Amino acid sequence: MLLPLSLTIVGVALLAALALVGWPGVVGSAGVDFCEANRPGPIAQPINTWSNAAFLAVGLAIGYRSWRDVAAAKAPGWGNWLVTTVRYPASYAAAVVGIGLASGAMHASTTAWAAELDLLSMHLWGAWCIAFATTRLFRAGDPTFLRVFAAVTTVLLARIALGHPLGVKGSTLFGAMIVTAIGVEVVGRLRNYRRYRIETGYLAWAVGMFLVAYATNLVGKNGGRYCDPYSVWQAHAVWHVLCAGSAGFVYLYGRSERSRTPAAAGDPSDGGSCV
């Protein structure tokens, strides 16, 4: 639990300090397409900013659940890295917390650098899922996860350094990453279905919540039928809360995987799951 908790404390403290001394960069240059009107003061879009606390809460809850799982020593019956280790659930929880911090920074400051950070945090979450799903597909170990995650992250950073070549939007890239992770997961399920069982109901909740979030955000954005810039009800804030819940259900989906036969100690096939 220490990793997501430390990231939350340090991240919130840093953002609070920046808000008090003044956001670096040009305020109002980004993040203005989400309906809520910019208010004067250190937090430009309060509803869209504070709703990101849902990501922090989900990330901390994952960290706490992981701590309890490892303390219960469930390894013999589960054979799942999201249950038997701290490194995978802790890094996933940190990725979820990172989305909340980056999105909060973007809506609070409406600066270009924060908008870039917001997209990067989403992409890193997607990179985690692709790397973990690939590791599960081949029932491999840490080196495979690290190589895939490093490769995807390198591409993401190169995209930023090169000024977003090919004109691919960050949201489009994020969607492509999710589709890729789902594709790898499906192949992995087909390849290894005799070796483990998993609760697909959690996945249905994750997908369902995301689709509702997407639809809500669509009708509530600038120009949308239900956009009211000065309302305390903001569709994009609902998007934040539902997406955080969806990320939580993705974790529960992965955590529910159990080996049909207990994995041997040190067996690299002792894996987990993500979409």
Q: Are 274 and 185 in contact (CB under 8 A)?
A: yes
SS (H, E, C) 189-215: HHHHCCCEECCHHHHHHHHHHHHHHHH
Q: For position 245, what pLDDT does the model report?
A: 97
Q: Within 10 A of 7 (CB to CB), how many other CB atoms are there?
A: 23
Range with the poorest average pLDDT among 103-107, 165-169, 228-232, 253-257: 165-169
Taking 80 as the threshold, does the pLDDT of residue 167 lie above it? no
Nearest by Cα to 134 from 120, 147, 117, 118: 147
Calculate mean pLDDT across residues 209-213: 93
Burial class (CB in 10 A: 0-12, 13-18, 19+), 50: middle
pLDDT in tens, 109-140: 999 999 999 999 999 999 999 999 999 888 88
Which residues are CB-neighbours of 175 under 8 A, at least 6 positions away? none
Q: For position 58, what pLDDT does the model report?
A: 97
DSSP 3-state assignment of 258?
strand
Which percentage of the chain shows pLDDT scores above 90?
A: 60
Q: For position 243, what pLDDT does the model report?
A: 96
Please give the Cα distance from 102 to 30 (Å, whole number). Answer: 13
Range with the poorest average pLDDT among 10-24, 106-120, 156-170: 156-170
Give 197's strand partners.
Answer: 258
Q: Are 272 and 254 in contact (CB under 8 A)?
A: yes
Taking 90 as the threshold, does the pLDDT of residue 54 lie above it? yes
Which residues are CB-neighbours of 53 under 8 A, at least 6 positions away? 100, 104
pLDDT in tens, 232-273: 999 999 999 999 999 999 999 999 888 776 554 444 444 444
Average pLDDT for the chain? 88
Please give the Cα distance from 25 to 270 (Å, whole number). Answer: 46
Taking 90 as the threshold, does the pLDDT of residue 2 lie above it? no
Q: Please, what is the end-to-end C-alpha distance for the chain in angstroms?
A: 22
Taking 50 as the threshold, does the pLDDT of residue 178 lie above it? yes
| Global model pTM greater than 0.85 | yes
Domain ranges of the chain: 2-12+32-259
